[in-house]
Structure 1
Amino acid sequence: MACLPFLGILMSSRTRGSLFLVTFCCLLLHVTGSRTDPLEVNALQEIKRSLIDPMRNLSNWEKGDPCTSNWTGIICFRRSHEDGHFHVQELQLMRLNLSGELAPEVGQLLYLEILDVMWNNLTGRIPFEIGRISSLKLLLLNGNKFTGSLPPELGNLQKLNRLQVDENNITGSVPSSFGNLRSIKHLHFNNNTISGEIPVELSTLPRLAHLILDNNNLTGTLLPELARLPNLTILQLDNNNFEGSEIPEAYGNFPRLVKLSLRNCRLQGSIPDFSRIKNLSYLDLSWNNLTGTLPESKLSDNMTTIELSHNHLTGSIPQSFSELGSLQLLSLENNNLSGSVPTEIWQNKSFENSKLQVDLRNNNFSDATGNLITPDNVTLYLRGNPICKSPSIPFDKQFLKNVCGKKKQTPINSNTPCSNMSCPFENVQVSPGICLCKAPLSIDYRLKSPSFFFFTPHIENQFIEYITTSLKLETHQVTIDRLIDDNRLRPRLYLKLVPKEEIKFSKTEVIRIRNWFTSWSFSGNDFFGPYELLDFPLQGPYADLITKKSVISTAGWVMIVAGSTVTATVISVTATLLFIKKRHEKSHTLTKKRFSRTISREIEGVKKFSFVELSDATNGFDRSTLIGKGSYGKVYKGILQNKTEVAIKRGEETSMQSEKEFLNEIDLLSRLHHRNLVSLIGYSSENGEQMLVYEYMPNGNVRDWLSANAMETLSFSRRSHVALGSAKGILYLHNEANPPVIHRDIKTSNILLDCKLRAKVADFGLSRLAPAFGDGDGEHAHVSTVVRGTPGYLDPEYFMTQKLTVKSDVYSFGVVLLELLTGMHPFFEGTHIIREVRMANECGTVVSVVDSRMGQCSPNKVKKLAELALWCCEDRPETRPSMSKVVKELEGICQSVREPDMFSEKTKLLCTKTSSSSSPVPSPLSLLPGSDLDSGFFHPVKPR
């Protein structure tokens, strides 16, 4: 008989015998062989045991069969294998608030094609056992907290197409075995701490299209052999340290290269001739030490971006630059270029569907080849050139202000919202002036390495056509709800997909669209480059799919039908055994339910410690373990059972955070991943106490290092790098965190230093989520809130109006920069640090207020740091820089100031002790942070 019709009859009956027979049908797959391979079932169970799942997204992994019971995140092959078992084809666990470690048993899923655990909080090492899954095509581990090095065993994955481990804490070098990945197209390792040289073996990969290694610690020389890669379209190595290396002449011979980005790599030498690369669209060699003149040969007609600023280039601008019809950005600022400004770059050209920015600031241009008046869509910057003071150039006042004044800010693109008409779902603007009541699908999407600078309306139309063509939708069905492109390096788009005729998409269509994004099935597009899927939330009428059961497992019913026919003999043999098993499962389920009520009260994404565990870690909170005290409470050094050193912030009854602030800090920290932010390990809220458990930071906070009583101090070089690390952490909060965050209490005592004096921003108890349009250089939205923060660091605009913006953090950070520069407190001797430094700077005596303990430092670097700090401290928020600009300026200051490699004997000892006392393999609890303290946090920097 068929099981599915039989089930319908049985479920309508209330008799005990019918219930018995219903349970029988669950056993049919046991006896027909149509069940998941037992080895894979065991592997999945081990994976679940090693994960922390506070929202119980994987609760249905506790019963039934993975392939026939719709286990969340499991997609199986539609047909059983020749061995009679079903096998797991995809493991899709993106953004499920999971923490813990990825169990090595994942290597037992030998038929797996997609492993996706993106955007969780997973820690520990990447299991080398993954290298056994010979069928794997997509390995997506980005957006977690994985530590350790890249396993060389991954080089065994001959079918692997995409390897993404970006935005983790990966160290070590790139294994040479990765040269065996013969099918690989995408290697994305950016935003880690990978060191060593790029292995020459990568130059043999025949299909490699994207090599993205920016924001690491790579060293050595640029490999000329990379130019042999026949299909490479993107080479992005920004923010590494190839000091002394030149750009190989062979880089002018890439056969298919579209984007070459080598920003801030400490390169030297001249610029090669790139005219032979016919598809080159994007060239960024800024913030290096390049010399010589600009090549005269004409670049590709596809060129949109030429970024060569902050080098030592000489000579004039080649006439060939005037022939680039697709150019959006020509940035040559801060070089030694001279001659005439070639106005032909923008004259006699149509910019109806485009923009052009020509930035020539701080060079030696003395005249122009024609009229300097530019069209509306062209922006020209000339400040810092002799031409701005030339009496022969007829400037009017407004033109002088626009061209020779400060750089204007560019607003963020965004659609005009629809009117507030009555609609049970959402009024979606499908075209200008036309809004429809629909239930759209929302997609959080980021372009990882585009080959353009401005996201103009013309490019927006191209992008929508690209998306709709791949998804087989019509152009009016895709809208860009919001675009955040503050630094224009990785624009973030919030897409909305609108049903064509119906009010909402059908379940089948949702499944199809989601699978299209998660399987990276879009056709390749060199102009838009690779993308990141940040989130695919299912909201409103799609909320019933939030567990992803229907979305993720469509094969279950097919498999049930396939195994539905059995003989009566099988029924009689197995029925009794099933009844006993069912009773046992029922009892087990009741136990699980009782346990789940306890779990539901825990905070998602972090470990909950018992009071006893933390008491044991501190020897009963003994005075000998006390390492600091602040307005919130005392901080103790603890050692957990796994030998991990932690800092435990224990709130005092009279000064504890409100419950809202306590939960706010936990919630925020559990979702933030950056090497310059402190990491929360866990918390405890038993016995009426509030305790937070952080990573132990043996070198305390910056304020203590600046104290006049400190036993040791920081050099100018070290202070510059501390400033840069802190700025990168704040930039992540503003631009990369999802959702963005305003810290609201940036100060030197909230910047902690690890054993190597690397800076991490701490204390998120006062933080607020940034407003939807609060990013970028345009008009800054605000949050109206009661003024909180620390006197001396408070943004005056925020203090007067209670309007909080991301620029409030910029102001506070400016005060931090002034403290680093002078060693003074914000308030001293009846005045404020900003006033003192500003007066000294205006008088040209800024060196007189510099902290003399820093030793020798370049007056030019000191002046640049002072000017940057004062820029951040402008009274009006709109005149302050964004954090992305602050980071760029600090990178320039640090570029010629080497980060010290040597530490004092005390600091060496701290690093040795910390590393030796930790467990050999990092656990989910091995990376945690400090806290806000008014006075000394940790002993090493306090006076004896």
Structure 2
Amino acid sequence: MMSQARMFALKVIMATSLCCFVLSVGAQDTDPSEVGALRAIRGRLVDPMKHLNWSKGDPCKSNWTGVLCFYGPLDDGHLHVQEILLLNMNLSGSLAPEIGQLSYMRILDFMWNKLSGNIPKEIGNIKSLELMLLNGNEFSGSLPEEFGFLPNLSRIQIDSNKLSGSLPKSFANLKEMRHIHLNNNSISGQIPPELHALPKLVHLLLDNNNLSGYLPEEFSMLPALEILQLDNNNFSGSLIPASYGNMSRLLKLSLRNCRLQGPVPDLSKIPELGYLDLSWNSLTGTIPSNRLSLNITTIILSNNQLNGSISRNFSGLPILQILSLENNLLTGSVPSNMWQNMTFNGTQRLILDFENNSLTNISGIPSPPANVTIMLQGNPVCGNANALNISQFCGFQDGEFTSHGSLTNSPSSSCPQSCLTIQFYEYVPTYPIPCFCAAPIKVGYRMKSPGFSNFLPYMEPLERFLANGLQLNRYQLYMDSFAWENGPRLMLNIKLYPDNFSIFNVSEILRIRDLFTGWHIPHNDVFGPFELLSFTLLGPYAYVIPTSQKSGLSRGSLAGILIGTIVGTITLSAAVSLLIKRRGAGYRHTPSRKRLLSRVQMKVDGVKGFNYKEMSLATNNFSDSAQVGQGGYGKVYRGNLADGSVVAIKRAQEDSLQGSKEFFTELELLSRLHHRNLVSLVGYCDEANEQVNTVRQSGMLSSIVDSRMGDYPSDCLEKFADLALKCCQHESEARPSITEVVRELEMIMHMISESDVTPSDTNTSFSSGGVTPVSSSSMPTGSASMISSSITSTITSTNGSDPLSGGVSSTIVPR
């Protein structure tokens, strides 16, 4: 039965290879007009870092940098560009008008480069465009009227540029628009009142421009508006419309330094208002006495001409962080119990800044908690400070919240060794298992209009929010540092760690990146809009190409190719080789074996260092009779150590694909990971001109590799091969989805686990002695070797794992 199954497997491998080859040869090309447009765009770009590979092949099939295409051809038979993602590539030059020919594009992302010149009006031809992300460049000129006729546009971010001219009235046609971020430019003129017709507008950020005229009263009719941020403009003599008090969805109103006049409107009817800043204007009259929303964190009315007394209704606001009324004309008494109904922990503070007014008394005897700061300097009441026992409130005090912070990731003193820093590995600070090393993804993230003034109480909630939004475990996300910037905006440096493994697989990296770049993280009222500043891939991720599964073939085709590859791989090699090869796939091998990394001194608990002589004796001088296998990196030998242990020894060859970097990465990985599907490292040899590693007998490999390894259920083999053939069907409708593929694989593996295959049937045995393979190889100076014990290649996917990615979860559901 086994020989028939093996013959069937051979036929399937040939058929699978042929199908996949036909698919790759017959795949449709990118629309020629879009190819020409991309080449024209490339011609206008300056790429000093050589990031772009736009000179060869077909854009969609050759994975041009940052060019993402639809899964398969559309009705016209061509592949089409869906996204251009060139965030933070250090590009300069300008955008070519031919960009308007990318008529199927959904996302245009050139954020944080150095592009200049006018923004092509031809972008207005891309009717499918949903996200226009051009912030952080040096674009100049006016915003084209044509942008107002993009029916699917939901986000326009061109902030932090050098735009001038007025806001196009045509923007009132953008019925899908949710986010207008045009802050930090030189846009001038009147804000078009017509924008009140935008039914889905959530955020309107126009701060730090040269806008003038009046505040449109019609904005009170915006049904979904949550943030209106117009700071640092010139609405000289304009009033704040009283109708703004009817904005039922408003969360933040920021009109700082706008030269506004007149009274402060009554905003007490806005049920969720959390942030109010009307400072540095010329507002007059009294402060409305009605109580604001219980969600309010920030009230800043400083540097105006307000008079009257301080309302007692500022008391009893449970999450208030700051009440700033300094530099006004306020009179009367200072309320002494404004912190009632508030609960403070170590990170919460309340700042009450009443400096430089005409306050003459204080009601009661103030005895605030340590977390409350009262500032009275510059008021008449401080002339009697000693008698009133308020001297501590009349001197200089720190009225600022923590402006920045850095959380150190220091190793525990109980950890036996440091992580492999040469590959940017580090301890995972919040990992359940202490001393666990992994390589993080580093993310630069900025909150553009947060709804609070003191970040510390919101740090942990933000970490939970982002972890959930990214579909990660809480311990996979770590807030490395933060800093407040002008705006105020909050800059965050975040580290993301893989789950239960030392590195992310490529599909997981691209999934996370897509969540950031596509703005798929759910919206949060308190944290407000964000922007991605950087997505840094170092160490084992340094050569991950920023493309996605959207390029080229459909998911079914890709799954078919993967399945076919797995069939061949299981037949021809050990699972450990597959795992190690995948681990090294994130690197580019060095072109010369003479270009080696510096020697790394490895000190790993439970892993013994061997010398070359011991390895030679164990394998009878690496004799041919001891050889049990051979791979791309070198040969595998059966060895008998001095203590009687039967091991497998890998020896890398001089001309192998494995460089010193890959070897040390493999050594680090095997020494730290413990899993039933991974080799257990026993030892290594690190001598000049040699790299050797050893694995001990006692594991299991897929029994279809060799008849000496025992019986394997032929029905499972046939089902597995049948699945591979289904994935290579020419018609996309006949191919299963990747979800169906994973489900079928899990069912097959379940059949294997319930079959009558006994452990003795599936022991790994590359030779008659039943030895797990090990390889070793000749290398120039700076080499090493490893020994490992227990290996299994039963491809059992754990909960939430992807059997196509070596157990690394590529789709993680929220926990």
Match of residue 201 from structure 1: 194
Match of residue 388 from structure 1: 382
Match of residue 536 from structure 1: 535
1:422 pairs with 2:418? yes
On the 8 A contact 1:28/1:563 being kept in 2, the answer is no
Cα distance change, pair 82–452 in 1 and its aligned pair in 2 (3 A): same
Match of 1:148 among 130, 141, 148: 141
Give me the whole-angstrom Cα distance separating, in 2, the residues matched to 1:426 and 1:237. 43
Match of residue 439 from structure 1: 439
Match of residue 481 from structure 1: 480
Give me the whole-angstrom Cα distance separating, in 2, the residues matched to 1:239 and 1:7. 68
Match of 1:301 among 285, 294, 301: 294
Cα distance change, pair 559–468 in 1 and its aligned pair in 2 (3 A): closer
1:34 pairs with 2:24? no
Q: Deviations along 1:730-785, whole A, 9 cap, x unmatched?
A: xxxxxxxxxxxxxxxxxxxxxxxxxxxxxxxxxxxxxxxxxxxxxxxxxxxxxxxx
Superposed displacement of residue 500, structure 1: 2.1
1:203-222 correspondence runs (5 A): 203-222=196-215
Per mean C-alpha deviation after superposition, the further-off stretch among 162-171 and 428-437 is 428-437
Q: Amino acid of the residue matched to residue 410 of structure 2? A: C
Match of residue 404 from structure 1: 395
Match of 1:367 among 326, 345, 361: 361
On the 8 A contact 2:69/2:79 being kept in 1, the answer is yes
Secondary structure, counterpart of 1:72 in structure 2: coil
On the 8 A contact 2:316/2:340 being kept in 1, the answer is no
Give me the whole-angstrom Cα distance separating, in 2, the residues matched to 1:526 and 1:260. 13
On the 8 A contact 2:382/2:390 being kept in 1, the answer is no
Secondary structure, counterpart of 1:56 in structure 2: coil
1:241-640 correspondence runs (5 A): 241-347=234-340, 349-352=342-345, 354-390=348-384, 393-395=387-389, 399=392, 403-407=394-398, 410-411=401-402, 412-419=404-411, 422-424=418-420, 425-430=425-430, 436-456=436-456, 458-487=457-486, 489-545=488-544, 547-548=545-546, 551-552=547-548, 554-558=550-554, 561=557
Cα distance change, pair 292–431 in 1 and its aligned pair in 2 (3 A): farther
Q: Amino acid of the residue matched to residue 375 of structure 1? A: P
Secondary structure, counterpart of 1:345 in structure 2: coil
Superposed displacement of residue 407, structure 1: 3.7
Cα distance change, pair 439–164 in 1 and its aligned pair in 2 (3 A): same
On the 8 A contact 2:130/2:152 being kept in 1, the answer is yes
Query: Unpaired runs of 5+ in structure 2?
Result: 1-11, 562-815
Give me the whole-angstrom Cα distance separating, in 1, the residues matched to 2:97 and 2:54. 18
Match of residue 708 from structure 2: none
Cα distance change, pair 26–56 in 1 and its aligned pair in 2 (3 A): farther
Cα distance change, pair 391–408 in 1 and its aligned pair in 2 (3 A): closer
Query: Unpaired runs of 5+ in structure 1?
Result: 11-21, 566-944
Superposed displacement of residue 325, structure 1: 1.1
Q: Amino acid of the residue matched to residue 526 of structure 1? A: D
Give me the whole-angstrom Cα distance separating, in 1, the residues matched to 2:313 and 2:139. 47
Q: TM-score, normalised by structure 1?
A: 0.55
Q: Deviations along 1:342-372, whole A, 9 cap, x unmatched?
A: 1221145311262211111111112211233
Flag the structure with higher helix content: 1
1:138 pairs with 2:131? yes
Match of residue 52 from structure 1: 46
Secondary structure, counterpart of 2:163 in structure 1: coil
Superposed displacement of residue 406, structure 1: 4.7
Cα distance change, pair 375–415 in 1 and its aligned pair in 2 (3 A): same
Superposed displacement of residue 324, structure 1: 1.1
Match of residue 808 from structure 1: none
On the 8 A contact 2:444/2:494 being kept in 1, the answer is yes
Decide which structure has the larger Cα Rg and report it: 2
Q: Deviations along 1:410-458, whole A, 9 cap, x unmatched?
A: 44333243237511111232279966422111100000001111012x3
Cα distance change, pair 508–203 in 1 and its aligned pair in 2 (3 A): same
Q: Deviations along 1:374-405, whole A, 9 cap, x unmatched?
A: 212111211111122215644376x25xx422
Give me the whole-angstrom Cα distance separating, in 1, the residues matched to 2:376 and 2:15. 78
Match of residue 190 from structure 1: 183
Q: Amino acid of the residue matched to residue 556 of structure 1? A: G
Give me the whole-angstrom Cα distance separating, in 1, the residues matched to 2:388 and 2:239. 42
Cα distance change, pair 383–486 in 1 and its aligned pair in 2 (3 A): farther
Cα distance change, pair 512–42 in 1 and its aligned pair in 2 (3 A): same
Secondary structure, counterpart of 2:513 in structure 1: helix
Give me the whole-angstrom Cα distance separating, in 2, the residues matched to 1:395 and 1:416. 41
Match of residue 930 from structure 1: none
Give me the whole-angstrom Cα distance separating, in 1, the residues matched to 2:82 and 2:501. 32
Q: Deviations along 1:893-917, whole A, 9 cap, x unmatched?
A: xxxxxxxxxxxxxxxxxxxxxxxxx
Superposed displacement of residue 409, structure 1: 5.4
Give me the whole-angstrom Cα distance separating, in 1, the residues matched to 2:236 and 2:273. 25
Give me the whole-angstrom Cα distance separating, in 1, the residues matched to 2:560 and 2:411. 54
Note the aligned Cα RMSD (angstroms). Answer: 2.6
Give me the whole-angstrom Cα distance separating, in 1, the residues matched to 2:15 and 2:54. 23
Q: TM-score, normalised by structure 2?
A: 0.63
Cα distance change, pair 37–452 in 1 and its aligned pair in 2 (3 A): same
Count of aligned positions: 539
On the 8 A contact 1:179/1:202 being kept in 2, the answer is yes
Give me the whole-angstrom Cα distance separating, in 2, the residues matched to 1:431 and 1:405. 43
Superposed displacement of residue 135, structure 1: 0.5
Give me the whole-angstrom Cα distance separating, in 2, the residues matched to 1:175 and 1:286. 29
Superposed displacement of residue 226, structure 1: 0.4
Give me the whole-angstrom Cα distance separating, in 1, the residues matched to 2:549 and 2:408. 38
